[in-house]
Structure 1
Amino acid sequence: MSDERLSALEARLQVLEDERDIARLIAAYGPLVDAGAAQEVAALWTDDGVYDVDEVYLEGIESIAKMVESSAHQAWIRGGCAHVVGPPRITVDGDEAVAVCHSLMVVHTEAGFVVRRATANHWQLRRTAAGWRATIRTNRILDGRDESPALLASGARGQRP
């Protein structure tokens, strides 16, 4: 195999490994947040990472960990909830990446399980010494507002919002 072909193969393999690692990071969010694993959830982000949700804007891993430890979040866990994250569409560009996916928050009620919210998720990620980490995660409820499908479209195109 020529050096050129070997280099091309290595580059393709690196992209596949990056996509796999990012998909694993995104897939870890639901189980970790539902387990109340605050430090592990926070570790999915860079130290200065941002989690921008409709109701709250969290900056820094300490804020993200506190959200998981909060009485409100702990009440969701005690009542029964599942943060279900769909498969991401990932675009890798060197040491930066964008991913987009849907998520559902399913909660247990007296009537059974119900979907509390369906959300558009846009992730911006960076390769760090510790592996891929989220720098900004933006979530918007899919309730008919224009912003939510625009967030999905930008991520599907590999763009930042």
Structure 2
Amino acid sequence: MTGESAEQRLDRLERRVRELADLLEIQQLLAAYGPLVDAGDATAVAELWSPDGSYLVEGWAMHGRAELAAMVNSAAHQSLITAGSAHFLGPARIRVDGDEAEAVCESLLIRHRDRGWVVARASANHFRLARGDGRWQITARSTRALDGDPAGRELLGRAAGPAG
């Protein structure tokens, strides 16, 4: 016997189920990015973010859903996906704290070339997320190339510590 009452055990189990549900929802949210951005679905990509969310990637700053959608619809992105590409986000290390969370993962941009598939970029990613409108949304994403620059390694270092 643990000394817990049935009500205490139920409360503990409900908290744990909520924690696991949050982790799964966040994992699914992050996993949706690659397929949606490679499909060119600008609206769905933008909806992954909160209305005022931001995305900072290699010197390019996007703020708000309209700018995120514009990136997906841009000639540069459209030429990338029509030539063949895959944005792959690896498994994320996720920490949830109430209605806020952060996640860290690595990602690859794989491009189709005449000689086959090549890794065009390997990156470190840090996400801040918040529960809003009844679902998890990205409030900020920072991406740095893993090209030896310390900034990329610093983002990966945020994965240290307990998850969940």
- Could you say which TM-score interval applies, normalised by the shorter chain? over 0.9
Task: Say whether residues 1:126 and 2:126 are aligned partners.
Answer: no
Structure 2 unaligned regions, length at least 5 = none
Deviant stretches of 4+, over 3 Å: 155-158
Aligned equivalent of 1:81 = 85
Alignment of 1:12-91 (within 5 A): 12-91=16-95
TM-superposed CA distance for 1:154, in Å, is 1.3
Instruction: In structure 1, give the amino acid aligned to 2:66.
Output: E
Q: Give the AA of the match of 1:115.
A: V
How many angstroms apart in 2 are the aligned matches of 1:55 and 1:148?
Answer: 13
Query: Within 1, Cα distance between the matches of 2:27 and 2:134?
Result: 16
Alignment deviations for residues 35-79 of structure 1 (CA, whole Å, 9 cap, x no partner): 000000000000000001013110001000000000000000110
Deviation of 1:155 (Å): 3.5
- Determine the C-alpha separation between the residues in 2 that align with 1:13 and 1:70: 41
Tell me the TM-score normalised to structure 1 length: 0.95
Match of 1:137 in 2: 141
Q: Map of 1:110-125 to 2, 5 A cutoff?
A: 110-125=114-129
Whether the aligned pair in 2 keeps the contact of 1:119 and 1:140 (CA below 8 Å) is yes
The answer to whether the 8 Å contact 1:104/1:117 transfers is: yes
Q: What SS does the corresponding residue of 1:155 show, helix, strand or coil?
A: coil
Contact 1:98–1:155 under 8 Å retained in 2: no
Amino acid at match of 1:76: L
How many residue pairs are counted as aligned between the two chains?
A: 159
Q: Identity percentage over the alignment?
A: 48
Preserved contact between residue 95 and residue 127 of structure 1 (Cα < 8 Å): yes
